[in-house]
Amino acid sequence: MTVVACPTCSRKVEWTTENKYRPFCSERCKQIDLGAWAEEKYTIPGAAPNELQDNPLDEDDKH
């Protein structure tokens, strides 16, 4: 059996199909995490969308 730490409170949680909140230990910890995402407390690192590719409108203006 695999045991993981709850991402919210660090309580040890069994990773089983019976645990409907996995990887969280409870509905409360799951909702706390969801609220943190909604409040933009977490971010995923990466380049801003305009840094990933050139603006297609700029290409049209050159022709």
Q: For 8-56, write each residue's pLDDT tens digit.
A: 999 999 999 999 999 999 999 999 999 999 998 888 888 776 665 555 5
Return the CATH number at 8.
3.30.50.10
Within-domain flag for 13: yes
Within-domain flag for 58: no
Within-domain flag for 62: no
Q: Is 43 annotated as a binding-site member?
A: no
Q: Is 9 annotated as a binding-site member?
A: yes
Within-domain flag for 27: yes
Within-domain flag for 54: no
pTM (two decimals):
0.64
Q: Is 15 annotated as a binding-site member?
A: no
Domain residues for the domain of 9 are 1-41
Within-domain flag for 60: no
Q: Is 42 annotated as a binding-site member?
A: no
Alpha helices in 1-63 (DSSP H): 27-38, 49-52, 56-62
| Residues 18 and 1: beta-carbon distance below 8 Å | no
